[in-house]
Amino acid sequence: MKLKIILKYFFSGCAITLLSITVIAQEKRFVPTGIRIGIDLSLLGISAFSSNRRGYEINGDIDFDKFFLVWDIGHEYRERISPLFNYNSEGDYFRIGFDVNLINPRKNQNNNVMFLGVRIAKAFYDDRVTFSIIDNNYVIIDSFRRNFGLVANWLELTAGIKVRMWKNLYLGYTGRLKFSKDLKGDEALRPFDIPGYGKSGERSLFGINYYIT
Amino acid sequence: MKIFGVMLIIFSIAGCSEIVDCKRETKTTARISFFKKTDGTSLEIAFDTITAIGTDSIFFTVKDSLSVYDIPLDPNSISTTFIFIKASVTDTLNLGYENQFIIIDQDCAPEIAFDNLEIINTSFDSLKIVERRLLIEVENNIKIFL
């Protein structure tokens, strides 16, 4: 179900992209030179070495002169274990937005990118917790709670680079300032994590992803 | 290009420099204050016992002569019925609420936060809710006039 929603947004993004290409390609310098598809190395690396966090993120961009339409699609499972509780969240997320390349495209034969950008992001996920709380007056609570169908929205300001390493292979990073988070669907359990965002209790967060494209 | 190298370092440090604050903002007790019905002044009162259905605990005894009582809500439920016994008179106060499990941080003890306090049923003649949230900073949740 969540994947269907993500795919719906993804294909809507593709449709907007194609429409944008049709419209702005009328001016020759806005004709895209190619589409870059990449993966988030940091999340893959964490998944390889951690049993408490796993996931993947695929990203892509398409250029219109010095502007880029950018999108990310990801899935993340995260578990938090302490002596008193075991919390986990799992779900899908996407981001879509624009970057502006600060390198002059006419002097940029390698298609390197040094960018500033904005994103809108959305996550669809479930979470649950099993816990023990000792209450002095009532019986010891040993129970679990869960949320289904949580939806989170947030915005991002981004900055980063993509540098051509060899032929069509690029390496780079994206630094993100995530803010303006809005979370819906929490009731008996206040969510601790949001896939693609991080700790839900933080009003704003810094994040960094390393990409191979 | 140097500025992006500096930004990379800043982003990395920002991601690592996290200070955990385990300070609680919520409480698990409702604060009840007693007032004289005649003139509205504070009333110090002692009950033989104050208990609740669902626990063997006696929260207060006749030794506690107070005008303000902090009565603990049952975190396993969405309502708690308190029983106030004084001489041959027994009064009940059934409070409803929402509760939510909160993890402040992985290194902190989790807590149950209560909110939207309401009076479901009571045998007290005159009382009112003055604050539905159960926060540490809140001075009073319910006023009872005797």
Question: Where along chain A do its domains lie?
Answer: 2-212
Q: For chain B, say whether A210 makes contact (Cβ under 8 Å).
A: no
Residue B33 lies in a domain: yes
Residue B10 lies in a domain: no
C-alpha span between B56 and A194 (Å, rounded): 40
How close does chain A come to B51, measured CA to CA in Å? 10
Q: What are phi and psi of B135, to 5 degrees?
A: -110, 150
B35-75 pLDDT tens trace: 999 998 999 999 999 999 988 899 998 888 899 999 999 98
Domain count along chain B = 1
Q: Which residues of chain B does A81 touch, with a Cβ-Cβ cutoff of 8 Å? A: 106
When mean pLDDT is compared across A41-55, A97-111, A117-131, B114-128, the lowest value belongs to A97-111
Domain containing B120: what range? 24-145
Q: For chain B, say whether A87 makes contact (Cβ under 8 Å).
A: yes
- Quickly count: other Cβ atoms within 10 Å of residue A114's Cβ: 19
Do B74 and B56 touch, CB atoms closer than 8 A?
Answer: no
Radius of gyration (C-alpha) of chain B in whole angstroms: 22
Identity of the residue in A85, A114, A141 whose CB atom sits nearest the CB atom of B76: A141
How close does chain B come to A112, measured CA to CA in Å? 11
Residue A181 pLDDT > 80: yes
Q: What are phi and psi of A168, to 5 degrees?
A: -100, 20
C-alpha span between A85 and B29 (Å, rounded): 22
Strand B58-61 and strand A169-184: the pairing is unpaired
Q: What is the pTM of this model?
A: 0.78
Residue B64 lies in a domain: yes
Residue B133 lies in a domain: yes
Of A190, A193, A178, which is closest to residue A72 (Cα–Cα)?
Answer: A178
Of A168, A150, A158, which is closest to residue A111 (Cα–Cα)?
Answer: A168
ipTM for the assembly: 0.72
A-chain residue closest to B58, CA distance? A137
Residue B2 lies in a domain: no
